[in-house]
A and B are shown apart, each in its own frame.
Chain A
């Protein structure tokens, strides 16, 4: 099976925007790969005038958030770098894979690359937990700059979302058949940190996290 790859347009984000931007993109992707019964959950972004759709799965949401946190902490250690988050969908060859080994074979049939360019300039002002309240006035010019930049990012983000939708529309043949009771296809999210020393642990963890729920259900 061929593996389709989608490179999403690079987004220039500030540190405090990473969370929302990634959530929005990752959930949108997964929503289109959740072909089981879903009750869509509609989310309005706080930082942008954009609405996206989740598939309303609490577990999934939690895992995506965890992954995003990992990514953010990686970004903090590696400032001023372009970085990539990859979400891949795969099929597991073994019908009854054992969770604690790497034996199971994953056939990747799709990969999405989210390209982020994190700018650090505003990091000082940004609080982790209250990104939306950051807007202190650093002077009119910079305020204006900020709003311009924000608007630019918003439209880029919207473009990326449309890019996802178009890709989903154009490429349908490679999507594996739907299995009963499986809400979303098994996926894995890769962030730059996976090349760190924690790689092994990460792999196992990822297996547990991603492979597990889908197969059980």
Chain B
């Protein structure tokens, strides 16, 4: 302006006032991408995913089950956890540090905030998933001469498994987001996410009874990972008499995620901050 109130580079008010969905999305987008937790969680996902692929390929005495598809999806058991925790931090973090009040003062309808965060977290998870698979593949390249490392996917399932890996990470991070929005305390919601996605799976596997395996098949972590399981692994599940349809499994994870988001929506809208 000519009277010198706003210097060069100053951000002017938009021509039209008001809270719009795109503006909320932009605000949440900037907040999430500039938080250090986001960078840490993406880095942890990529490192864990690649490390599992490399360590298991390097040490195995026989070619990996499912070939390259198997190696590229093996790390999902652990690499899903940083992204689930990121979802928790994105939605519960502001309740912890007190900035939720400013956020909801600026967006009194509140639900656009949840939608904006969901969109942002989806983008972060897609990036992290893509990087994780790429890093796992790249880390295997120099070790193609090891017995356990194969760079071919003979069953033709590579596209489904890689896409499934990324899709699983997307859904899991949204599940974390919903848990954080419901519980609002980062540590408590984080414990719920870790127990639900990791511990319960392992515990039910260890119990191994028919009931335990039936419950495990309905849990989001185990069911969702079927979409990222190579054909050979799915055939093993069929032989063991367990549900093995990859997309049905992913449907179970998506159903849990949608249900959790539907519970989160009224909590976000109605509870005091």
Partners in one complex: no
- Chain B positions near chain A (C-beta within 8 angstroms): none
- Chain A positions near chain B (C-beta within 8 angstroms): none
